Amino acid sequence: MDIFSNPELIRNTRAQMRWGRMISVAAICAVLSLVVGYAMAHSQSPGDPPGRWGMQFLQIVLGTQAVALLLGGSIACLNAVHREKEMNTFDFQRVTRLTPWELALGKLFGAPVVVYFAVLCLMPAALVGAVVGGARPTMVGAAYVVLLLGSITAHAFSLVISMLHQRGTNTGAILVLIILLLSGASASGPRMVFDVGALNPFISVQMVEQDTWQLSPYTPEQAGLPETHLGLADVFFGQRLHHVPVLLFLYVSFSGWFLLAVTRNLKRDPSVYELYTPNQSLGLLVYVNFLMLGFFKWGSTAEPMARQPMPMQPYDVQAIFLGINLSLFFLLGMVLLRNRDQIRRRLRELGDSASNWLAASWPAPYLLAGILLLGLATMGMISWKRSPKSEWDLALAAFRLGLVALWVVRDLLYLQWINLTRIRRPLTMGFVYLIVFYSSTAILFATLDLYDKPRGQAFTAFFSPAAVFGLTGKEWTGAEVFWWLAMFCQVAVAAAFAWMHRQKQLELAPAPAAAPAAESPLPTVG
């Protein structure tokens, strides 16, 4: 169905765009444009080139549009599903014949429709700025495309949150989103580790200043500095790419992932939401890792794919990847966790095989397979790119990988178990307990000076394997047994939680051979 005849979009437009409202939005935008434009034109200092104020005006307008789209639009989308659930209008949407895609797209573009309108109302001002400032038209166009697609990505993510979000946490959800957006807003952050420019759509404000599409002539060292002038060049597996297509590609692909999650679930019963299938979630992580491996600063970019020494120590590089994957797999694991409803349904559908040991170890097999696969890929890349003189022992690297993998498995089996307990908001509580556990052990170990001695570090890893990130040959020798014990410890704890998980499953099994539902023969109908 063509998007403009999407009923959900039309409904949103009708509800939000009454004449009175449109006129006041347009009037506000016009007044703001005129006042700011006038002020800019008059505050031009004599030394500036004649069109300078135009460029600044364009940037201010564009910045306003970006804030409106990113914050206003995201807040609208954050409310899009959950407000309807709260108001009890959502069930009626679910029983219509709108496909999940139609419903999702209608909300994606419909919820922020006023914001889009306001952005349109600011366009004349932006146009004036662009013409006066002599901006390069294609670059301005590209900046708007970046802004639009970037906002859509943020909106799609907001829809996911809105769909998942439970009663009474709305303000919290909005805050989290704003913080996420702002933390991604610093322009120079990722260049330290990844050869990729800023990923947030605010970059469009800086883009309009560019007068050329040529890749930046800077050396990687200069490009590594916080940029005042954008060097719009990214490096992907040694290939220099322009940042704009990279950005657009990332936006489109991640919007796709987010929308997939929304459309898979939007029309389902919330008690059986499943963000992604296990394979899709693994696919998402493989994709993210592929991007990370590609954009990582493996070495000089002067000669693509040349065997240049890496700027970082191999173990540190592995630690970075392990650390990021630790959090990613934690999230993946959360997606895969089963709740009581799902277990009950499985038990009734699959019978005993839904409560056997394999089922009790869920989601460990997927997590292990995924982390090991991606960890080995990283190790391969490091082995290839590292300088021959640097310290790198494959066996020790594999040990580090194994310990991190078991660590994730341990914590997720714990979360899976607590998710089946009958406390209020089990997952949130499970999380709180984890945070308390990690912070108290960290304080305790620091007080006992355990982090300073190799054996002490190995000992802390029994509880919280974070020390494994700093594990190199120096720490390993002499403490091997302790490290192996630490690994065994993870296995034992994981097994214990799997056992407890199994007990919960058995509890949920339907009572065997219960009395037949209707004792007395009922008069039949018909």
> Of residues 377-406, which lie at the interface with another protein (CB under 8 A)?
none
Q: Does 85 bind another protein (CB under 8 A)?
A: no
Q: Copy the structure tokens of residue 328.
A: 């990613």
Among the candidate windows 1-9, 286-294, 441-449, 453-461, which touches another protein by CB under 8 A?
Answer: 1-9
**Beta partners for residue 235, in sequence order:** 240
Q: Does 513 bind another protein (CB under 8 A)?
A: no
7: left (phi over 0), alpha (psi -120 to 50) or beta: alpha
Minimum CB separation of residue 29 from another protein in Å reads 22
Closest to another protein by CB, 313 vs 342, is: 342
Q: At residue 453, what are phi and psi to the nearest 5 degrees?
A: -110, 140
Q: At residue 248, what are phi and psi to the nearest 5 degrees?
A: -65, -40
Among the candidate windows 228-236, 256-264, 322-330, 511-519, which touches another protein by CB under 8 A?
Answer: 511-519
Q: Copy the structure tokens of residue 402.
A: 């194994």
Dihedral over alpha carbons 164, 345, 92, 103 (to 10 degrees):
50
Contact pick of 136, 340, 385, 455 for another protein (by CB under 8 A)? 340
Spatial CB neighbours of 99, under 8 Å, sequence gap ≥ 6: none
> Of residues 213-242, which lie at the interface with another protein (CB under 8 A)?
none
Contact pick of 4, 45, 46, 92 for another protein (by CB under 8 A)? 92
d(CA 504, CA 355) in angstroms, rounded, equals: 9
Rounded to the nearest angstrom, the gap between the alpha carbon of residue 351 and the centroid of all alpha carbons in its chain is 36
Contact pick of 2, 4, 5, 47 for another protein (by CB under 8 A)? 5
Contact pick of 166, 271, 327, 428 for another protein (by CB under 8 A)? 271
Q: Specify the DSSP class assigned to residue 353.
A: G
Count Cβ atoms within 10 A of the Cβ of residue 516 and give its class: 0-12 exposed, 13-18 middle, 19 or more buried.
exposed
Q: At residue 193, what are phi and psi to the nearest 5 degrees?
A: -110, -40
Contact pick of 313, 341, 434, 485 for another protein (by CB under 8 A)? 341
> Of residues 405-424, which lie at the interface with another protein (CB under 8 A)?
422, 424
Q: Does 192 bind another protein (CB under 8 A)?
A: no
> Are 419 and 341 within 8 A, CB to CB?
no
Closest to another protein by CB, 389 vs 422, is: 422
Contact string (CB under 8 A) for another protein, positions 45-84, x = contact: ----------------------------------------
Query: Which element (helix H / strand E) includes 242?
Result: strand 239-242
How long is the chain? Answer: 526
Count of residues of this chain found to bind another protein when the rule CB under 8 A is applied = 42
Among the candidate windows 51-59, 125-133, 264-272, 489-497, which touches another protein by CB under 8 A?
Answer: 264-272
Question: Residues in the site for another protein, rule: CB under 8 A?
Answer: 5, 7-8, 10-11, 14-16, 87-89, 91-99, 267-269, 271-272, 340-341, 344-345, 348-349, 422, 424, 510, 516-518, 522-526
